């Protein structure tokens, strides 16, 4: 699987979400005042904004890379000192840096309420949603990078096409055998079954779990935790048709499906919606085994 440009190395874990249709990418070009270059591990800061002495600020180091601009093809980190206010998130800080210091800084964001999944970043060595992560809870300097194990398009924007292909591979759509006769009659679901699948429905396609998975990083065909969670959401729904459930189980029990999971729990640990992804994958394994059991 592709990673960050090979030039990028650092003393912290290197950065090698979901292009939501509503997500926006800031992509303007305007220079801001530059300071002398300074080392950050094997990287250098090309620019640094110095704070006002009277301001309460937070220092952020943002990954920069633009393959279309010759002067920016070498990955680096730019340092910004952002005025701090109570409740400020990582996304707020990056937006401020873009709006006030460097309009060319590029990243995805949309709802700012942890719903769209657009702004998944690698912050201080962990996959996080920018809009959900409080700046006050992080050690400075706050290091903001694109998601690992995915191609970098520009700055903090990664190519999510492969992630979406894996999600589509499990047919993430409800498919019952039959529907109610009445036009306005709902298709009922028991309370117990709703509780069973409830957490799996919270996935926002941010790609954080997929980025954190070492198996997905080494196996380009592995469905990944997000897709397997989506398969769980429908396979365990009592309203779905039996034939479709069997089709789903056949899809996920193939060579690059659930059996590739090594229960490292990295996906569960970084999920911004607290979905027990590893647990869901293990239950799918049990269902796949039961499907093949025959008693006679």
Q: What is the mean pLDDT of the chain?
A: 84
96 shares its domain with 124: yes
171 shares its domain with 115: no
56 shares its domain with 148: yes
| Number of helical (H) and strand (E) elements in the chain, helices listed first | 9, 11
Q: What is the pTM of this model?
A: 0.79
In a domain, 185, yes or no: no
pLDDT for 16 equals 38
CA dist., res. 180 & res. 90, Å (int):
47
Domain count, the chain: 2
**Residue 40 binned pLDDT confidence (cut-offs 50, 70, 90):** very low
pLDDT at 207 over 70: yes
In a domain, 15, yes or no: no
In a domain, 3, yes or no: no
Integer angstrom CA distances of residue 242 from 176, 271, 296: 8, 30, 22
Angle at 230 between CA 180 and CA 293, to 5 degrees: 85
In sequence order, what are the beta bridge partners of 126?
Answer: 123
CA dist., res. 58 & res. 123, Å (int):
14
Are 163 and 111 contacting, i.e. CB atoms less than 8 angstroms apart?
no
131 shares its domain with 172: no
CATH number, domain containing residue 37:
3.10.20.30
Are 56 and 131 contacting, i.e. CB atoms less than 8 angstroms apart?
no
28 shares its domain with 122: yes
149 shares its domain with 165: no
pLDDT for 24 equals 42
Site of tokens 């009922």: 188
CATH number, domain containing residue 253:
1.10.1060.10
In a domain, 9, yes or no: no
In a domain, 81, yes or no: yes
User: Residues 243-273: pLDDT tens digits?
Assistant: 899 999 999 999 999 999 999 999 999 999 9
The DSSP call for residue 227 is H
Nearest to 91 by CA among 59, 134, 56: 134
Mean of pLDDT values over 139-167: 96
* Higher pLDDT, residue 198 or 14: 198
**Domain ranges, residue 214:** 161-176+192-291
pLDDT at 29 over 90: no
In sequence order, what are the beta bridge partners of 158?
Answer: 152
* Least confident window among 1-10, 74-83, 183-192, 220-229: 1-10
pLDDT for 54 equals 66
**Residue 178 binned pLDDT confidence (cut-offs 50, 70, 90):** confident
pLDDT for 124 equals 97
């Amino acid at each position: 699987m592709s990673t960050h440009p090979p030039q990028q190395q650092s003393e912290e874990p290197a950065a090698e979400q979901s292009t939501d249709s509503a997500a926006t990418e800031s992509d303007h070009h305007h220079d801001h005042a530059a300071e002398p270059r300074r080392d950050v591990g094997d990287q250098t800061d090309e620019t640094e904004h110095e704070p006002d002495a009277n301001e309460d600020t937070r220092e952020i180091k943002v990954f920069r890379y633009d393959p279309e601009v010759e002067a920016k093809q070498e990955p680096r980190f730019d340092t910004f000192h952002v005025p701090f206010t109570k409740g400020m998130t990582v996304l707020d800080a990056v937006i401020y840096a873009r709006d006030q210091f460097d309009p060319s800084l590029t990243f995805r964001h949309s709802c700012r309420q942890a719903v769209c999944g657009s702004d998944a970043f690698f912050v201080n060595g962990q996959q996080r949603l920018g809009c959900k992560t409080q700046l006050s809870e992080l050690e400075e300097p706050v290091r903001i990078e694109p998601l690992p194990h995915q191609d970098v398009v520009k700055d903090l924007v990664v190519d999510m096409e492969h992630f979406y292909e894996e999600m589509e591979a499990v047919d993430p759509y409800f498919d019952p055998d039959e529907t109610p006769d009445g036009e306005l009659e709902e298709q009922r679901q028991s309370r117990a079954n709703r509780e069973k699948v409830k957490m799996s429905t919270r996935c926002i396609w941010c790609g954080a779990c997929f980025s954190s998975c070492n198996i997905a990083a080494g196996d380009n065909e592995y469905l990944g935790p997000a897709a397997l969670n989506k398969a769980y959401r429908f396979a365990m729904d009592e309203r779905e048709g039996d034939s479709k459930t069997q089709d789903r189980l056949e899809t996920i029990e193939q060579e690059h499906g659930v059996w590739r999971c090594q229960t490292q729990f990295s996906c569960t640990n970084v999920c911004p919606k607290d979905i027990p992804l590893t647990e869901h994958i293990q239950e799918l394994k049990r269902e796949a085994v039961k499907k093949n059991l025959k008693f006679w």
